[in-house]
Every structure is written in structure tokens, then in C-alpha cells.
Amino acid sequence: MNTRFAALLCASIAFVMGAEHASAQQQRAPAAAPAISIAAVVNDEVVTLREVQNRTALFMATARIDNTPETQRRLIPQVVDSLIDERLKMQEARRQKVTVTTEEVRSAVNTIEDRNGMQPGTLRAMMDERGIDMDTLYAQIESDAVWVKVAQEHLAREVVVTAAEVKSVIDRAKANQGKPEYMLSEIVIPISLTLPEQAARELGQRLAQQIRAGAPFQAAAQQFSQSATAAVGGDLGWVIQGDLEGDLARVVPTMSENQVSDPVRVADAFRIVALRAKRASGTPDPQAAAITMSQIYLPTEGGRALPPEKLEAFAERIQREPKTCEDMNKLAEEIATPGSGPIPPVYVGALPEKVRSAVVGLPVNKVSDVINVTGARLYAMVCQRQADTGVPNENQVRSMLENQKLNNIARQKLRDLRRQALIDVRL
């Protein structure tokens, strides 16, 4: 599974974990309607009212929005739009003979449970508690994942990045060193026929209020944002002040770290931004370092929990024996607990908070202190670290430009599919 595919699936799961503390009122799905009730027809496929209700419940649990008839009324147009897009993605994938198997999706769920210290089946239990069909989550993950594959296998050939483009980005980064730069996340709510300006503004205001009250920004972005960054929880990374669009250039410099903006009108959408950090452009960032890791996960709860004597014996060996990542991987293979072994390259800032704190300054080939995660003890070792220099290298810039162009092509392809489709919305 490639890194981009895995990251997308991780983002798709993250919103459920972020909604863990939703109220009982928010956990209940709307009353079920007969499965044959039709909300929309997309070419020759239907979107049922039951699907709309389940997805609406998922949205509300995600953002911790009160489950009221008024909230449902406001959300339903966007939910229907999302489900229509999913049908179009799946139809195009079938036309291109691109598939994502049920086992791939379920395996992704299992992997994320392991890596986040959740016992197997925890995610399903959380969904059941909220009265939401697990298939609702599977369908969303499948459509997003298959669309990534369509883009990679059939649209990527249209992406061309020239040496001049790469040089231009690097030269600009060097020229902007020392200027204000902001680490931002975004939620983009487009204005459309189904979501006119006032409704889009009200939805944005409601989301901003809920996020300030404690709803996770990443979760809300994954569910509500209509930008390509939704797949990574709205993460924009570091943005130079001169690149801020329209009124954002006025709003962002006045914000404090960890502050969430009101909806800001830009072109044909509203944008909500969260300011995560400020710095002078070109300043090296330890969290932007790219690392490879090995880890060993020792379950302490649930059906796979290790008995105390074995837990302590393994912990002692982990802290004493491995001197290199090869040693760590061999021990992980011997212990053979889920989630143990080598971890693909990842940016430090993308790791869960507890793991990030443990490895950000950890020397290469040194075992971390115990990291206490939900239901387990975790030990990590950094195998390689590529420090951030403050200026991206050629490979980083080329990859960034390729992803940007591929995202733009994929968005345009989806717009084309929508224009060409026979769509009948019946709500």
C-alpha cells in the first residue's frame, strides 16, 4: 500500500476517533426510513434516504453538532452532494476497472486501530454505540481510496513538472526566508446551487463554533471541507504571508496560535482556517523532519493483552537488547504483536502526539522510553532522520508540485463527470 493511499485511509478513520466524547444526543442516528426511499439518482444508481440519514448522523458525530431537525435540514444538501460524488467516483472506477477490496478497507481499519492503541473491534463498537451502520464508514473510505487509485493509475500521466518549475519554487523559498510564515489548516465550504451563500456562511459559522468548543478540526475538515486538503484533515502546512488569498491576508496575521477564524469569503467559497504555529520563513522545523521508524507494541488490555510476567519480560528485553533498527525489527518479529515492526517514512509532525513527543529529539538507533497509549505500551526507535533545512529540496518540491497538479486534475475530472451525469435529486 503506497504512502499516499495509507495516509488517506488514516484520515478517513481519524474523524471517528475524534468524536469519541460526543453526547448521547449526538450519538443517536436519525430514525431509519425504508431502504427503498430514494434521495437521488446518479445515472442509473440510486442514493437512498437511509444512506443520507446515516451519513448525516456520521457528520454530526464528527463535528459534535447537536442532532436536531434544523441541523439535519442544513446538512442534508451537502450530504447528498457528497454521496453523489461518491457514486460518480465509483462509477468511473468501474469504467477504468480500478477496485479497492473489502479486505483492503477492513485491513486499513484494523491497522489504524493498532497504531492508535485501540483494541480490535473498538471502532465498530463506537459506531454501534452511535447507532451508525459501519457500512457508512466503509463506503466513504472505499470511494475516497478508489479515487486515489484512479488518479494515480489513469490521471497521473497528465502530470508534468518541469525543472524550471522546481527551480522557481526553491528560488522563491530562498527569497522569502525570514518573512512571516503560518502553519495552517483549512475547511473550504463552496457556495453552490444546493448550498447558497447564506447557508454556506451559516454552516461555516456553526463549524467554527463547534471547533472552538472542542470538536477536532481535522475531523471536521475531513467530513465537511470540499478542498483537496480534506483527505489530510485540512492540513495546508506552512504558508508564506504573501500566498494568503484575499481577506485571509488580513485575517491570519492578526490571529493567535491555536485560534480558529470565522468563515472568510474567498472567491466562490468560505474558508475557515486554524493557525497552528507562526515562524519566520525558512526556519528549520524539527516536526518537519522525515523519519523512518521501528516500533514494538505491547497490548495491556483486551483479548490480546499480555500477561504481566510476559509484559515485563518483553519490556526489559526491548530496553536492553536492540542497538539498531535491524535488531528492533527482529525483536518485533519475534514478539509478533499487532502494530509491531518497521514504519514507512513519515513526517514527525504527522505522528500521534504522544509518539511525536517521544521521538522528536530521540537519537537514531536509540529505544524510546515507554510510550503509554490506550490499551498498550509502545516503544519506538528512529532508524533514519532527514532534518528540515527550512528550504525544500528538489525531490520535496517535485513531489509537492506533482501532488498539487494531480489533485487539480482529479478535481477537474470529478467536475466533468458531474456535468456529464444524469442527476436527479429528489429531496
State yes or no: pLDDT of 95 exceeds 90: yes
Provide the number of structural domains found in the chain. 3
Percent of the chain with pLDDT over 90: 43
Whether 252 and 371 map to the same domain: the answer is no
Looking up residue 277, the CATH number of its domain turns out to be: 3.10.50.40
Residue 115: predicted pLDDT:
55
Q: How far is CA 79 from the centre of its chain?
A: 18
Whether 192 and 126 map to the same domain: the answer is no
pTM, two decimal places: 0.63
C-alpha cell at 16: 471517528
The pLDDT tens digits of the residues spanning 333-358 come to 999 998 899 998 888 988 888 899 99
Separation between Cα atoms, residue 219 and residue 399, nearest integer Å: 25
Whether 19 and 62 map to the same domain: the answer is yes
In a domain, 415, yes or no: no
Which of 164-178, 192-206, 247-261 tops mean pLDDT?
A: 247-261
The domain of 343 spans 286-386
Whether 148 and 21 map to the same domain: the answer is yes
Q: What is the helix (H) or strand (E) element at residue 127, kind and residue range?
A: helix 122-129
In a domain, 166, yes or no: no
Looking up residue 46, the CATH number of its domain turns out to be: 1.10.4030.10
* pLDDT classification of 19: cutoffs 50, 70, 90: very low
Rg (CA), the chain: 22
Domain boundary among 254, 284, 314: 284
Across the range 11-33, mean pLDDT stands at 39
In a domain, 172, yes or no: no
- Which comes out higher in pLDDT, residue 64 or 40? 40
Whether 328 and 206 map to the same domain: the answer is no
Whether 209 and 322 map to the same domain: the answer is no
C-alpha cell at 281: 520563513
Residue 63: predicted pLDDT:
59
CA dihedral 106, 107, 109, 115 (to 10 degrees): 170
CA atoms within 13 A on the CB side of 200: 22
Whether 53 and 143 map to the same domain: the answer is yes
Whether 13 and 75 map to the same domain: the answer is yes
In a domain, 354, yes or no: yes
Across the range 110-120, mean pLDDT stands at 62
Domain boundary among 217, 249, 284: 284
In a domain, 399, yes or no: no
In a domain, 418, yes or no: no
Lowest mean pLDDT of 9-18, 331-340, 364-373, 377-386, name the range.
9-18
Whether 290 and 280 map to the same domain: the answer is no
State yes or no: pLDDT of 214 exceeds 60: yes
Whether 301 and 356 map to the same domain: the answer is yes
Whether 338 and 357 map to the same domain: the answer is yes
